[in-house]
Amino acid sequence: MMTLEKTKHTHLQKAEEYVRDVFETVKERNAHETEFIQAVKEVFDSLVPVLAKHPKYIEQNILERIVEPERLLSFRVSWVDDHGKVQVNRGYRVQFNSAIGPYKGGLRFHPTVTASVVKFLGFEQIFKNSLTGQPIGGGKGGSDFDPKGKSDGEIMRFTQSFMTELWKHIGPDVDVPAGDIGVGAREIGYMFGQYKKLKGAYEAGVLTGKGVGVGGSLARTEATGYGTVYFMEEMLKSRGLSFDGQTVVVSGSGNVSIYAIEKATELGATVVACSDSDGYIYDKEGINLDTLKKIKEAGNERISEYVKEHPHAEYTEDGSGIWSIPCDVALPCATQNEIGEPSAKLLVANGVKAVGEGANMPSTLEAIDTFLNNDILFGPAKAANAGGVAVSAFEMAQNSSRVPWTFEEVDAKLHETMKNIYQNSVNAAEEYGFANNLVVGANIAGFIKVADAMIAQGVI
Ligand code: NDP
């Protein structure tokens, strides 16, 4: 007769083999999609203990199903520039998983957008959205259109053309896009206008991240940055620490970064650095938010402008050098793979205590290992930056009830959501024998709900 220990061992071996086999197939079938493969690896590695404990997920081939998008749309976006020339970009929407609700996830406009980038973001979004506790599935989209240097008219013509194709595939109960890199309230507003015109109906809940005057939620702009800081506040508390008195470095200077800086500063931290894709600012007195907002939100200028108003601050070209600045808390809030192993080692050597991912997949797998092996508090993106999509779901709720909430109400619900995500991730990590590893905890907590919903809906 098999002992309990032996049975457990066999289940573990089976789970490891299953994960290995499915991962090999993912690599073969998506050979050139490096970002997507990286995102899948991170999730799959976390799931072995769950699959060992609950063989039903193996019997139901859940991993094979969950890595295959329900739908991947790729389309031509033609538009006319200010010189009367026709330009062509490529648009994407990945509708990855609708087991727990309509597809939900942002649109990114950046020259680096490819099918691989959209798929990695859409895949992560499945688990992130599940973690929020809201009924939203996973999706993502965007275009290789570069908004930098484009006039307002060009942005409008591009976004209208983008929506002229996308509107057929979305809807308040089908797929609800939002913003991401290069897409803010202005772009969402133009897309909403075009959707309304084509659809012939005012369906406010078809897009989130709208301006407050067109059905947007208060505190949506702040949500991702604030949420990341709320999440990291809980992590710091677990070691008797707080933001008060800490030195913080935040990469990027866009939507997520600005509001992460705002909340961390409000909680007593000194944020000494931020960046853009050209370089970084180091201001040891603390980044002046009014100046930053004036440069970035109002003017859309380069971060190098900062030193004109604050000559004591230093500007260094090449944003990746930002991780050489000693800090207690690092918040990567710019883009994927911005912290590689060398930067992670540098942060650790300089005494970093906590790293919270405001951006999506900003740390490489090697960088994550470096943090975890050195017992650094590490808040993974799926959990730490889920505040943005959580408030997007609140925006959908306000749109369907036609009752707007106050800033304070939204902020309080956001705070509570981030605390719940933290606690659920901690609990899942502990239950499966990986205490303090929130990468594993967040992946498991996000996965179980989606996998069970997929099983409940049969093989579809
Ligand atoms: P923004 O467009 O507002 O800002 C992006 C910032 O990151 C800019 O400072 C930009 O610099 C910098 N950046 C972008 N791409 C690169 C690159 N390839 N190399 C170096 N710097 C770069 O975007 P968001 O703040 O909305 O998004 C930032 C991150 O947060 C992304 O990973 C996004 O997916 C993630 N996120 C965003 C959410 C949201 O609600 N907005 C929700 C959850 C996650 P520059 O101006 O020079 O390009």
Tokens of 258: 């600005």
* Residue 335 and residue 329 in contact, taking contact as beta carbons nearer than 8 Å: no
Which residues sit with their C-beta closer than 6 Å to ligand 1? 110, 112, 179-182, 224, 252-257, 276-278, 319, 333-335, 358-360, 385, 388
The residue out of 369, 384, 399 marking a domain boundary is 384
Q: Cα separations (Å) of 160 from 157, 178, 180, 397?
A: 5, 15, 17, 26
Domain tally, the chain: 3
Among residues 116, 122, 87, the alpha carbon closest in space to that of 103 is found at 122
pLDDT band at 2 (very low <50, low <70, confident <90, very high): low
Residue 299, pLDDT score? 75
CATH number at residue 121: 3.40.50.10860
Nearest atom, ligand 1, residue 182 CA = 2
Alpha carbon 159 to its chain's center: 22
Look at 10-14, 126-130, 392-396, 411-415 and tell me which has the smallest mean pLDDT.
Answer: 10-14
Tell me the three-class secondary structure of 2-47, residue by residue: CCHHHHHHHHHHHHHHHHHHHHHHHHHHCCCCHHHHHHHHHHHHHH
Distance CA 165, CA 174 (A): 15
Tokens of 433: 């024998």
Residue 460, pLDDT score? 81
- Assess whether 260 and 319 both reside in one domain: yes
| Ligand 1: centre distance to CA 361 (Å) | 12
Nearest atom, ligand 1, residue 223 CA = 40
The tens digit of pLDDT for each residue in 112-167 reads 999 999 999 999 999 999 999 999 999 999 999 999 999 999 999 999 999 999 99
Q: Which among 107, 119, 180, 392 is the best mutation to test ligand 1's pocket, defined by most ligand atoms within 8 Å of the CB?
A: 180
Nearest CA residue ID for atom 28, ligand 1: 334
- Assess whether 169 and 308 both reside in one domain: no
The tens digit of pLDDT for each residue in 174-212 reads 999 999 999 999 999 999 999 999 999 999 999 999 999
Query: Could you tell me the pTM of the whole model?
Result: 0.97
The residue out of 384, 418, 436 marking a domain boundary is 384
Residues of the domain holding 263: 221-384
Residue 207, pLDDT score? 98
> Among all residues, which ones are annotated catalytic?
140
pLDDT higher than threshold 90 for residue 75: yes
Rg of the Cα trace of the chain? 22
Residue 7, pLDDT score? 81
> Bridge-partner residues for 171, per DSSP?
175
Dihedral sign computed on CA atoms, order 227, 418, 433, 439: negative
Which stretches of 267-406 are DSSP H helices? 289-293, 306-309, 341-349, 365-373, 381-384, 387-401
- Assess whether 15 and 86 both reside in one domain: no
pLDDT band at 8 (very low <50, low <70, confident <90, very high): confident
- Assess whether 245 and 335 both reside in one domain: yes
Q: What is the DSSP letter of 339?
A: B
- Assess whether 114 and 133 both reside in one domain: yes
Which amino acid is residue 251, in one-letter code? S
Distance CA 432, CA 434 (A): 6
- Assess whether 237 and 366 both reside in one domain: yes
Residue 5, pLDDT score? 76
How do beta strands 314-317 and 279-282 pair? antiparallel
- Assess whether 40 and 80 both reside in one domain: no
Within-domain flag for 421: no
- Assess whether 53 and 157 both reside in one domain: no
- Assess whether 238 and 287 both reside in one domain: yes
- Assess whether 39 and 139 both reside in one domain: no
Within-domain flag for 416: no
Tokens of 221: 């702009």
DSSP string, 48-72: HHHHHH-THHHHTTHHHHHTS-SEE
Within-domain flag for 326: yes
Distance CA 257, CA 250 (A): 6
